[in-house]
Amino acid sequence: MNKLIKKADVLIEALPYIRTFKGKTVVIKYGGHAMTDAPLKERFAQNVVLLKYVGLNPVIVHGGGPQIDQMLDRLGMVAKFRHGVRVTDAATMEIVEMVLAGRINMEIVDLLNRHGGQAVGLSGKDGGLMLTKPLTAKAWAESIEKDLDSDGSDADFGFVGDVKSIDPTLLLKLQEDNYIPVIAPIGTDREGNTYNINADLVAGAIAAALKAEKLVMLTDVKGIRDANGRHLPTVSRKDVQRMVKRGTISEGMLPKVHACLDALAGGVGKAHIIDGRTPHAILLEIFTHKGIGTEIVA
Ligand X SMILES: CC(=O)N[C@@H](CCC(=O)OP(=O)(O)O)C(=O)O
Ligand Y SMILES: Nc1ncnc2c1ncn2[C@@H]1O[C@H](COP(=O)(O)OP(=O)(O)O)[C@@H](O)[C@H]1O
Which residue numbers belong to the known binding site for substrate?
A: 64-65, 86, 196
**Amino acid letter, 242:** R
| Opening angle at CA 26, ends 84 and 57, nearest 5 | 135
Q: Is residue 132 a contact partner of residue 124, using CB atoms and an 8 Å limit?
A: yes
Stretch that binds ligand Y, among 6-14, 27-35, 102-110, 173-181 (CB under 6 A): 27-35
How do beta strands 234-236 and 57-62 pair? unpaired
* Minimum CB–partner distance for residue 81 and ligand X (Å): 7
Helix 237-246 vs helix 253-265: angle between axes, to the nearest 10 degrees? Answer: 150
> Residues in contact with ligand Y, total (CB under 6 A)?
16
- Binding residue ranges: 64-65, 86, 196
203 binds ligand Y (CB under 6 A): no
Q: Which residue, 18 or 284, is less far from ligand Y as judged by CB?
A: 284
| Contacts with 84 (C-beta within 8 Å, 6 or more apart), sequence order | 144, 251, 252, 254, 255
Q: Is residue 62 a contact partner of residue 183, using CB atoms and an 8 Å limit?
A: yes
Residue 232: name the closest of 298, 294, 275 by CA.
294
Residue 174: name the closest of 25, 17, 21 by CA.
25
224 binds ligand Y (CB under 6 A): yes
31 binds ligand Y (CB under 6 A): yes
* Minimum CB–partner distance for residue 237 and ligand Y (Å): 15
Among 186, 221, 244, 264, binds ligand Y (CB under 6 A): 221
Among 249, 261, 274, 296, binds ligand Y (CB under 6 A): 249
The residues binding ligand X (CB under 6 A) are: 31-33, 63-65, 68, 85-86, 96, 160, 185, 196-199
d(CA 170, CA 176): 10
67 binds ligand Y (CB under 6 A): no
Q: Which residue, 59 or 120, is less far from ligand Y as judged by CB?
A: 59
* Minimum CB–partner distance for residue 198 and ligand X (Å): 5
Binding site for ligand Y (CB under 6 A): 31-33, 63, 65, 219-221, 224-225, 248-253
